[in-house]
Amino acid sequence: MIAPFASGIQSDPPIQQLELSVVLPVYNEQENLRPLADELSIVLDRAYDHWEVLFVDDGSTDRSFEELKRIHDDEPRFKIIRFRGNFGQSAALDAGLDYASGEVVVPMDSDGQNDPADIPKLVEKLEEGYDCVSGWRKQRDDPLMKRVSSRLASGLRKAFLGTDLHDYGCTLKALRRPAAKDIHLDGEMHRYIPALLSWRGYQIAEVEVNHRPRKNGETKYSWQRLPKGFLDLVNVWFWQKFSGRPLHIFGGLGVLSVGIGMLSGVYSVWLKILSDANLSETALPLFAVFMIMIGVQFFISGILADIGIKGYQHAKDEEPYRIDKILK
C-alpha cells in the first residue's frame, strides 16, 4: 500500500452546518432592532452552537438600515439583506427563506412582539416529526379592533382552507429546511404558509407562544390589508383544490350554466306551444341564450387554464407531488 503523501499544508477545517436561521422582515423598526438583537443573541447562544439571523430591510425610510449595520458590525452572525424599495412582508420573508442556510428556519416579526424565548419550544416540537410548527398567540396584546378583525379572518381561513389552526397571522414559526425552500410567497401569502405546506403534504403543528405589547414604533397593519388578504385566501383555496384540475371547477360551472340555459329554453318553448305566450314580452329566451353562452365560456376557460398549468409545471420542471422518503 502506498502511504499518503504528507505535506506541511493543513487542510481547511470542515464547514459547520448551521443549525438555525432566524428571518426577520424589517420596515421602519429602528428603535426595536437593538433590543431584539440582544435578546436573540442570548437565546440562540444558549440553545445552539451554529446559528445566523437574517434581517431583510424592506425599504425602510427611517434609520433602520444604519442600526442594522451597527448590529452586524458587533456580531457578524447578524446578516442583512436590503431591498431597493418597499415590496411587502411576504416578499421580505420570501427573500429570507431563500437566503437562509440553517437546517431549521424561524421567521418572526421585528417589532418585538414575538418572543425569542419561544424559539427553542417551536424547534423542540418540530423534532417530534413535524415539518412546520406555527405559533399560536392565545393571549394577544393587541387593540380590540385588530383582535376582532384577526378573529374574523381566522374564521374565514378555517372555512376555506380546512387546516385546524387557531392563529394564521402569527409570523413566528419553525420550518424544516426542505419545507422552507418549497414555498414561494407573494401578495399577502405569508399568512398562509401552514396551509400552503399542508397542501403539499407537509406535517403541520401549532404551539402556544407569548405575545408582547409593542413598545416602540407604529403598527403596519390596517383595514386595507383585509380585502387583500381575502383575495389571497381565495387564491390559496383555488390552488389547494383545483390547481391540478382547473377544468373540474370551470367545467362544473359550465355544466351548471348550460343546464340552466337549456331548462330556460325548454320552458320558453313550453310556454309558446301550450300557452301561446308572447315570448317577446319576456327576457326568458334571452336569458337562456345568455346562460348557454356563459357555460361555453366556462368550458373554454377551464381548458385554457388546464393547458396553462401543465405548461407552467413543465416550464419550471416541477412535479405535481412531493416525496417524503424512498425505501430501497
Domain ranges of the chain: 20-242, 246-315
For domain 20-242, the question of CATH label 3.90.550.10 is answered with yes
Could you give the CA distance from residue 91 to residue 107 in angstroms, rounded to a whole number?
13
Residue 132: beta bridge partners?
175, 204
Look up cell 457578524; give the residue: 76
Could you give the CA distance from residue 190 to residue 183 in angstroms, rounded to a whole number?
10
pLDDT of residue 6 exceeding 60: no
Largest CA distance in the chain: 108
CB neighbours of 90 closer than 8 A, spacing ≥ 6? 185, 186, 187, 188, 189, 190
Q: What is the pLDDT of residues 109-168, one digit of tens each?
A: 999 999 999 999 999 999 999 999 999 988 766 566 666 666 666 666 666 666 678 787
Q: What is the pLDDT of residues 53-109, one digit of tens each?
A: 999 999 999 999 999 999 999 999 999 999 999 988 889 999 999 999 999 999 999
Residues of the chain above pLDDT 90, percent: 46
Could you give the CA distance from residue 102 to residue 23 in angstroms, rounded to a whole number?
10
Mean pLDDT of 261-278: 83
Q: Note the Cα 20 to chain centre separation in Å.
A: 20
Q: Answer yes or no: are the C-beta atoms of 131 and 178 closer than 8 Å.
A: yes
Cα-only R_g, the chain: 27
From residue 38, give the alpha-carbon distance in Å to each of 72, 120, 262. 12, 16, 70
Q: Indicate the pLDDT class of residue 250, thresholds 50, 70 and 90.
A: confident
